[in-house]
């Protein structure tokens, strides 16, 4: 083999490596694009609304269980405004003394 042939072989090998690396880069860019352009099943605004809804629901259930089961009262009484007014009056009375 002459030096010219060796140069051609190394040049063709380098060209193949560059071609493979460019193909790999294009595949990586396609994968990154697919990852970035993911379609969400539940939109973000709906997630926030659902989060707020479930937080309110769990707070109401916590109040019902706390007043009805732990506090030995009637669960429905925990939702009445007179019960809350009584609790507020007790807290304000203790803070005035």
Q: Render pLDDT for 66-79 as a digit per residue (tens, 0 to 9).
A: 999 998 888 999 99
Overall number of domains in the chain: 2
Write down the pTM of the prediction.
0.54
For residues 45 and 9, membership in a common domain is answered with no
- pLDDT tens figures, 44-62: 999 999 999 999 999 999 9
Distance, in Å, from the CA atom of 79 to the CA atom of 35, rounded to the nearest integer, reads: 47
Q: How many CA atoms lie within 13 A of 87 on its CB side?
A: 10
Domain limits for position 19: 1-38
Q: What is the pLDDT of residue 30?
A: 73
Contact 69, 63 (CB under 8 A): no
- Please tell me whether residues 13 and 47 are part of one structural domain: no
Q: What is the DSSP letter of 43?
A: -
* pLDDT on residue 5: 56
pLDDT band for position 64 (cuts 50, 70, 90): very high
Position 63 pLDDT exceeds 90: yes
Domain shared by 55 and 78, yes or no:
yes
Q: Are residues 30 and 56 in the same domain?
A: no
- DSSP, collapsed to helix, strand or coil, labels residue 80 as coil
């Amino acid at each position: 083999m002459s030096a010219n042939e060796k140069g051609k072989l190394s040049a063709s090998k380098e060209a193949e490596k560059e071609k493979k690396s460019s193909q790999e880069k294009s595949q990586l860019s396609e994968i990154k694009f697919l990852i970035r352009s993911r379609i969400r099943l539940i939109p973000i605004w709906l997630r926030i609304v659902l989060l707020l809804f479930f937080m309110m629901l769990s707070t109401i259930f916590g109040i019902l269980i706390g007043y009805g089961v732990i506090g030995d009262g009637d669960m429905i009484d925990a939702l009445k405004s007179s019960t809350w007014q009584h609790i507020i009056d007790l807290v304000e009375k203790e803070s005035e003394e």
